[in-house]
Structure 1
Amino acid sequence: MTEELVTLETAKLLREKGFNEYCKDIIKEDNNRIMQSVFRTNKNLPKMCYSRPAQSIAQKWLRETKNIHICIYNCACGYGYEISKADNGTHIASSAYKGTNDGEKWDTYEEVLETGLQEALKLI
């Protein structure tokens, strides 16, 4: 079992919002090539390369540095996420469906977490 790494889109948002934590995995924008690097932080990577942390690391970084908590849940209608303030639980956003009109559900925990990460990063 391995941890799911963030996608290129999420990696770009993380860099834009100040993520500069140690990561051995990076992703290159022009060809989506996944590599390992000695540079290890966004600050030291070329412009077209992004740190690619595990989803759980990105989730923890948001909670500890931006005070944003992403909760993933599974109920009768499928997976969903809720974004709230980490210190007091104030609700910010939530979704139980992929799209607003089609009612399509996420198939996996990791898929909904990726969406939750992207939506939380867009709120910053």
Structure 2
Amino acid sequence: MTEELVTLETAKLLKEKGFNEPCMIAMNIEDGRQYGTNRTNSELPIKVCSHPTQSVAQKWLRETKNLHIEISYMYGNYWIYDILTIPRHDLIGLSDRPIVRYNTYEEALEAGLQEALKLI
């Protein structure tokens, strides 16, 4: 079992929003090529960004932006997400977000990561 990496779109959003943690993989923003590294976004060339796992990105949002992405399994065999503030536990999100049923936990988490980053 391996941890899921964020998509290129999410990696670019993370860099834009200040994610600067060392990652074992970096990604070329223009063509998606991956590189082995252990550098932060600030140490990488402009057209390259860190490529973290979903769990690292989720933890970064929790610890630095006080946003928790909650994934729920629903009757009917699908997943959804919500974004909550820490510590108040207020439900937040884009007002025009359609209700989407995700087939996997990872799909729901990826969508939640992207929405949370757009809210910052």
For 1:43, the equivalent position in structure 2 comes to: 42
Which aligned segments of 4 or more residues in structure 1 are displaced greater than 2 angstroms?
none
* In structure 2, distance between residues paired with 1:47 and 1:82: 32
Structure 2: segments with no counterpart, 5+ residues: none
Q: TM-score, normalised by structure 2?
A: 0.91
What displacement does 1:66 show? 0.3
Provide closer, same or farther for how the CA distance between residues 104 and 115 of structure 1 changes in structure 2, counting only shifts above 3 A. closer
Q: Could you say what the CA RMSD is over the residues aligned between the two structures, in angstroms?
A: 1.6
1:112 correspondence with 2:115: no
Deviations 1:40-90 (A, max 9, x none): 100011111110111001000000000000000011142100001021101
The aligned length equals 117
Aligned to 1:28: 28
- TM-score scaled to structure 1, two decimals? 0.88
- Secondary structure in structure 2 of the residue aligned to 1:27: strand
Whole-Å separation in 2 of the counterparts to 1:87 and 1:104 = 26
Matches within 5 A, 1:1-124: 1-38=1-38, 40-77=39-76, 78-93=78-93, 100=98, 105-124=101-120
Q: Identity of paired residues, percent?
A: 53
